[in-house]
Structure 1
Amino acid sequence: MGKKNFDSEFCGRLPLNNVNLIQDYGYLIIASRSELKILQVSENSEELFHLSPEQLITADLGKVLSGEDVKQIKIFIQNDIARRVPMELTIGKSEVHSALFHLKPDYLVLEIEGKPKSGKRKLSTVLADIQLAINSIEAESDVKGISEVAIRELKKISGFDGVLMYQFDEDWNGKVIAEEKTDLLEPYLGQTFPASDIPKQARDLYLKNPYRQIPKREFTPVSLFPVVNPVSDGFLDLSDYNLRSVPSVHIEYMKNMGINASMSIRVLNNGKLWGLISCHHIEPKYIDMELCSIFEMLSATISSKISTVLSLEDGQISAALQQTRVDIMDRLHHKNNPDTAVFNTDGKELLSLFSVGGAILALNGKKGEVGVVPDTDFVDELLLWIDNKNLSDIYYTDNLSEAFEEAGPFAKQASGLLVMPIDSKQSDYLICFRPEVEATIDWGGNPNEAITFEANGKNYHPRNSFKLWKEKVENYSTAWKDAEIDAARTLASFLSKLRLGETAE
């Protein structure tokens, strides 16, 4: 069977950032930027300030924070701090709480840690832990090594029962590529989780927040007071805040997984979400802001190292492709005969350039071929199908039979297709075929049952089993790399110009 897209549009439409609820392990204060008057508070703030939400609204921040804290906040505002900033707040006479300061155009937000700081770790100890982890990560030279070291260090620092690394594929399914865990948790190494587990809206939030913590699965969500933010005249956008509440479907997901606490840390590749590090714990587990800051720093280190390694690999591939492409183009220029130049040395260079099993050059009503290609009748049908596309650019697919049903019987030779138009009006093309690569995906539970609806069509639930579920995938080739597509585009342009006699002498 072919691959399916398990990215859930339904889950992606749920307003994760406009729920007007926070988790109960901390407090939220929203104040005006200009006057530092309190606009909104979480309804549990009375626990911290011993004043009701009604008493806090319109009060000065100085009524609940120390003069030094207010002075620091004013400095942040004067410097127009764009990113969130960790700080310590003195509540009452001596109680110190960690907090995150967020500055918005018209208001500021304080996320305050629920538990007062019980004692600082020595700075030298903190720096030593961070430096040891960074040194270990930097010493690795490939993605596998980086991933394995990263989760080992994070598990050691955090004490979670299990830590694993997901890598997203092109359809946003996440494959577990590294795992460290105790015997209390089920193993997931090598398994793939469907994109619907982390739908698009949730993934987008990781571009704003380096981590997401749920320290206690069973918690009572806390509302904001008043319900409507007086500045935006609507619900407060909670996208940037760690305290943002958790959808009930995800709570059920955690329950089905057998965990009471989780934390996820993003991994970026050149600014785009590449993967996630997921931490699980059987019992409730809270990670304080100091340790979260370490996780944030290590997230940046891991992302930077993976980006560097992947860029180096892409560069090496591009360099090899460029050299082969240049050799072919040089012969094209001097021989002025596309057929013999493209298929020089039995076409091995072309086949190697694009990692294909066979190729056809359709030019001036004639066809030349090299390697393993489908039969003549099929190629004629394929050319008609390509003609109808009126191509002005490269066309490629790793699942030809999905787009062109007649290709099904020829999947062994032609599951992948790369078409370089030379002159589509004259049916002149260079066409490459990639053979089928049969694969079996080990899913963490049946992806077809990722979400199930009740009879009313409104209430829904995540899958209740993560038992290994195998899926055989057919009619697919290996995916085309960006560097290969770039090389194809350049070669097609050169062939087109050569045909028109436009190449330089």
Structure 2
Amino acid sequence: MSDEVRGWLSPKAVAAEAGVSQEFDLSQCVREPIHLLGGVQSYGALVAARSHDAVVDTVSRNAREVLGRAAEELVGRPVTELIGEEQWALARESAEAVAGFPVNSAVIPPENSGPASPPDGPAASGVLSLALEQDGRARLFDVTVHRVAELLVLEFEPRSADRPFVFQSFYPRVRRALQRLQGAAGVTECCEAAVGEVQALTGYDRVVAYRFEGTDGPGQVIAEVRNEGREPWLGLWFPASDIPPQARRLYARNWIRAIADVDDRTVGLLPELREETGEPLDLSGSILRTVSGYHLEYLRNIGVTSSMSVSLLQDGELWGLIACHGDEPRRLTPEVRAACEFFGIALSLQLAAVAEREQADELSGYRRALAALLAQLTSQAPDALPFPDSGVPELIHADGALLIRGTETLATGAPPPEGLPRLLERLADRSPVGEVWSSDRVPEVLGLEPADAEARELPAGLLFLPFNRDGDLLAWWRRELPAPREWAADPARPVRTGPGGERLTPRGSAAVHRATVRGRSEPWSPAQRVVAGELWREMSGLLSRRTAYLEARNTELSRTNEDLDSFAHAAAHDLKEPLRGISNAASFIVEDAGSELDATSLRRLTTVGRLAERMDGLLDSLLHFSRLGQVGLRRELLSLDEVVDDALVVAGARLAEQGVTLVRPAALPWLRADRERLREVLENLLVNAAKYAADEGTGERRVWVEAVPVVPPGGDTEVPVVPPGGDTEDPDSGGDGRPVTAVVVRDNGIGIPPDRHEDVLQLFRRLHARGERGGGSGVGLAVVKRIVERHGGRLWLESPAAAPDGSRGGGPGTAVWFTLGGADSPPSG
């Protein structure tokens, strides 16, 4: 099977074909060059002559029966010997007249060119009346004229003497039909009016309006008129395989196609292959063109003897057909065909006008909603990303929307499907920047069946617009919307056993196949695509302004931070000199004149010295805090046990003074951090915990240090510890929900009220008087927080906190937790 066939047939159709015997090859139907079948219907005759010298190139083999001259006598001879100079001139004038006014402006896509495809360009033809001398009398013919390259093709149809064309009786019917059409309000009403009028014009037993789902999809009967006794087809769907691509291309080139008798014997051409091309004469624009054997069999299988189809186009593409079926052979005169052709053009224009009016009304409503949405977005603060809870999904009736900007992904509406981010990354290069890409059948576009595991992780519908080529985009998605359908044939089994064996055998309503279409969403309308693009343009401006605003703020904050760091360093450094002078002066006065001072003055001088020393300590703490923002980190993989041992070199003495025992597991894990800074964190936390440790009633006071796995929201729920307020992923997790290591230092002391947790992390903030609980400057936890954040981690408090063994000791206690950014793993070997 060729790639062209596989690319057009659905996976189900390919599988169905593979499941039947080789008596019928569906791919042959798809590949058949129906414009090069080399024959015409027998009720007329064809003559093709070179336009520049009138020499006959090709003739149908029934020329003697129809025209009175044998085909062998005409080929290579001037056509004027058959029709005369004057009528040849009329034929040329007719062809030239219609050349500037093509009947159909549809153009065949370039990829469909080649020997097996109709040529590009519109089909245009004219009709005139010619007379030929036969047996001493003039015989009248209706002659349709069109061009094929350098040839002028004349198709002769004998005029019926008993059915003269009378304009005065024919025109009122056509005018009435057009008036009904113009009064129709919607697509269905237009089609209902059309099928009734076409039946009145032609006399066929059944006339239906058939709309395609997309350019290569199945079709549905949306309007029908039928004579008594025929089963209804209204509402039925017919598989896409019923009308293969090359047939659709010819329908798009010719407004009308008539088959007088499905049992007609095809008349061949002389010569069979043209010398110039090595192929049969191209009959793409022929009214007499013979019919594919597959199509004739199709018609016989549904009990049709004669047929006519009128193409319905929108924007040059095949939108649908008016299909006419007769129970008896039926020849239509050129005048009736012309009326139906004109009617098809008028209906196509009316359908386009109705669609345009409906789209305009729909777009007007969407634009009102867009204006309200933009008013809300532009009223927000410049530094707020205008997306969450803003009504973006509701704007175009989507289930959810997604905004991706750099590393930032914001979702609104329903939770997005798991595979949506991967899907957007996969499709990112399918749409130019600022252009809409949309599909209501994403799994099918990706070649997946709805039941596939990958398809179940995807949205059924997607519409997105890239902001740039860096992956920034705005997207909407929709869930699957299962659609029950009634098929005239099983779309998964286009080939099945019929009267002629395994053939394309459509069924009518007596054999309805009910099935549910899966893997599709509600389609995106043109108006929704337009308003999505308009929102994208407005949001592009908002995001650009936000980016510029944030860049300006970041520059300002960076400069401010530098100024603050410089100020803190200068203040701490420059204030120490006069402070030492004050302390020294107070000491000298006490030494030199202490015996002469009264007790009050001496006490005040001693207080000055003590305050100067305290100020010196605060300035040292401030200087150290400011330097933390300037010193670089040297991250390495460290044994937490070793760093705890280092911290105990300093903190151990304070724990011993307080009679506090440190409890830790047999082995602590490895962490990636700056050794000196991590040691400083542990020193501060252990000293702090020792201050507040309580007597457990046995004379023993304890603090604990542990390492605990922490899971950001959406991770493994079996791990019980989640950072409080964790509505975003922990930086240590890498954003993928994996557990990370948190270090916790606990005590069983007085605890910290929850409403004071943030206060104690600020510089120089204390919960008790300076002289209580061993004193302190109130800098320790602020230093710890800054070091943790420099590592890209988080710090938080819990209180009350039970000890690991479940005891609480003398008070509710406090647990200080922190994580450090970066992957942690033990060294190899």
TM-score interval, normalised by the smaller of the two chains: 0.7 to 0.9
Return the match for 2:146 from 102, 107, 110: 102
CA RMSD of aligned residues (A): 3.2
For residue 655 of structure 2, what is the aligned residue in structure 1? Answer: none
- Deviation at residue 219 of structure 1 after TM alignment: 1.4
2:284 pairs with 233, 239, 242, which one? 239
Quote the residue 1:69 is aligned against.
87
Aligned residue type for 2:131? T
Match of 1:269 in 2: 314
Cα deviation per residue 1:252-301 (whole Å; 9 max; x = unaligned)? 11111011111111011122210001001112111121111111111111
Q: Distance in 2 between matches of 1:141 and 1:361?
A: 39
Counterpart mapping for 1:45-444 below 5 A: 45-66=63-84, 68-76=86-94, 81=99, 83-92=124-133, 93-170=137-214, 171-335=216-380, 337=382, 341-343=386-388, 346-348=389-391, 350-361=392-403, 369-374=411-416, 379=418, 382-387=420-425, 389-390=427-428, 393=433, 395-400=437-442, 403=446, 414-421=459-466, 425=470, 430-444=474-488
Of all paired residues, the percent bearing the same amino acid is 25
Deviation string, structure 1 residues 330-380 (Cα, Å, up to 9, x no partner): 54445355867445xx544x2332112333445676665544335xxx55x
Counterpart residue type for residue 268 of structure 1: L
CA positional deviation for 1:107: 1.8
CA distance in 2 between partners of 1:283 and 1:262 (Å): 10
Q: How far apart are residue 6 of structure 1 and its match?
A: 5.6
Report Cα offsets for 1:194-235 as digits up to 9, x if no partner: 111111101111122111111111111111112233554531
Task: Tell me, yes or no, if the aligned pair for 2:29 and 2:294 is still in contact at 8 Å.
Answer: no
Structure 1 residue matching 2:62: 3-state secondary structure: helix
**Higher strand proportion, which one?**
1
Q: Any stretches of 5+ residues in structure 2 without a counterpart?
A: 1-9, 15-25, 101-123, 550-829
* Residue ranges of structure 1 left out of the alignment (5+ in a row): none
1:106 touches 1:231 (CA, 8 Å); kept in 2? no
Offset, 1:65: 1.8
Structure 2 Cα separation of the partners of residues 155 and 76 of structure 1: 30
TM-score under structure 1 length normalisation: 0.87
More deviation, 100-109/152-161: 100-109
Number of equivalences: 489
Superimposed CA distance per residue, residues 394-436 of structure 1 (whole angstroms, 9 cap, x where no aligned partner): 554434556596676578xx533334555785x7654433233
2:806 corresponds to: none
Mapped contact 1:43–1:225 kept (Cα < 8 A)? yes
Q: Report the secondary structure of 2:311's partner residue.
A: strand
- Tell me if 1:42 matches 2:60: yes
Q: In the TM superposition, what whole-angstrom CA distance separates every residue of 1:293-325 from its partner, at most 9, and x where no partner exists?
A: 111111111111001111112222233333433
One-letter amino acid matched to 1:87: L
Query: 2:479 is aligned with what amino acid?
Result: P
The change in CA–CA distance for 1:384 and 1:475 in structure 2 (over 3 A counts) is closer
* Larger RCO (CA within 8 A; separation ≥ 6): 1
CA contact (8 A) 1:212 1:264 kept: yes
Aligned-pair CA distance for 1:69: 1.9
Match of 1:485 among 529, 533, 549: 529
- C-alpha change, 1:204 and 1:117, in structure 2 (3 Å) is farther
Distance 2:393 2:98 in 1: 56
Instruction: Report deviation, 1:76.
Output: 3.7
Change (3 A) 1:241 1:6: farther
Contact 1:33 1:77 in 2 (8 A): no
Looking at structure 2, the residues matched to 430 and 71 of structure 1 have their Cα atoms a distance apart, in angstroms, of 62
Cα 1:44/1:197, change in 2 over 3 Å? same
In 1, the alpha carbon distance for the partners of 2:383 and 2:194 equals 50
Structure-1 separation of matches of 2:98 and 2:332: 29
- Cα drift, residue 147 of structure 1: 0.2
Q: Which moved more, 1:105-114 or 1:66-75?
A: 66-75
Q: Is the 8 A contact 1:98 1:112 kept in 2?
A: yes
Number of the residue aligned with 1:472: 516
Render the CA deviation track for 1:441-494: whole Å, top value 9, x for unaligned. Answer: 11112222223599xxxx962126442111112342101223323333343344
Rounded to whole Å, the distance in 1 between the matches of 2:438 and 2:97 is 50
Superposed CA deviations along residues 80-136 of structure 1, whole A, max 9, x for unmatched, are: 845311101102132111110113442211011145443423211111111011111
